Structure 1
């Protein structure tokens, strides 16, 4: 049995999220929550909310025990890219790519 939580269209680049996801993969949920609380990255705030949501899904929808849960898989996929224009010298324009992310978090119970 597994519990999933999704976070879509987050306005943060996937490569920044991936760094924090590597820290919490295969960790028990209480340790993963502690890691996210004390990691000084922008992605850790939205991942903390996502982890709380996944824990609530596991407890309420699948009747799982919170103490036995661990992060079995977590991954990030690129979402749509917002394309903006930045004015430059001599009438030129450079393109600024504002990337978005789709984050998935899966929790399982230890056997």
Structure 2
């Protein structure tokens, strides 16, 4: 007996891509995600290309994946896509320690985060 088909998580005129295990804190990643929310995808790609933030390269890859998903899987027009949503979540945290004076330790937390980008096709106004 075959498994039933899962329902789409996004609407018919949307496509989604996720980037997981990005080595930065969610707070820093959210600053980059905030730059691209609500913009046309070409403008968002340009801003990520020339951003001075290190994590912008990872966000650019996820955005390109969302664009490719929209084109290949959902037959959406690439020229009329906008970044509908870009939201950030926590992932795992590596816990390390650093030796301190008098037999104590200093805790070091190395956070990872994830980003989800949803692109949407908009109709051109006549």
The TM-score, its normalising length taken from structure 2, stands at 0.86
CA RMSD in angstroms comes to 0.7
Q: Which has the higher contact order (CA 8 A, sep 6+)?
A: 1
Unpaired segments ≥5 residues, structure 2 = 1-12
Indicate the SS of the match to 2:38: coil
Write 1 or 2 for the structure with the bigger share of helix.
1
Counterpart of 1:8? Answer: 20
Highest Rg: 1 or 2?
2
Q: Which of 43, 47, 50 is matched with 2:62 structurally?
A: 50
Report the 3-state secondary structure (helix = DSSP H, G, I; strand = E; otherwise coil) of the residue aligned with 1:62: coil
User: Aligned equivalents of 2:98 and 2:27: distance in 1?
Assistant: 23
Partner of 1:12, secondary structure, is coil
Question: Following superposition of structure 1 onto structure 2, how do residues 62-77 of structure 1 map, counting pairs within 5 Å?
Answer: 62-77=74-89
TM-score normalised to structure 1 length? 0.97
**Unpaired stretches in structure 1, ≥5 consecutive residues:** none
SS in 2 for 1:95: strand
List structure 1 runs of 4+ shifted beyond 6 angstroms.
none
Equivalence for 1:20:
32
* Count of residues paired in the alignment: 111
| 1:84 corresponds to 2:96 | yes
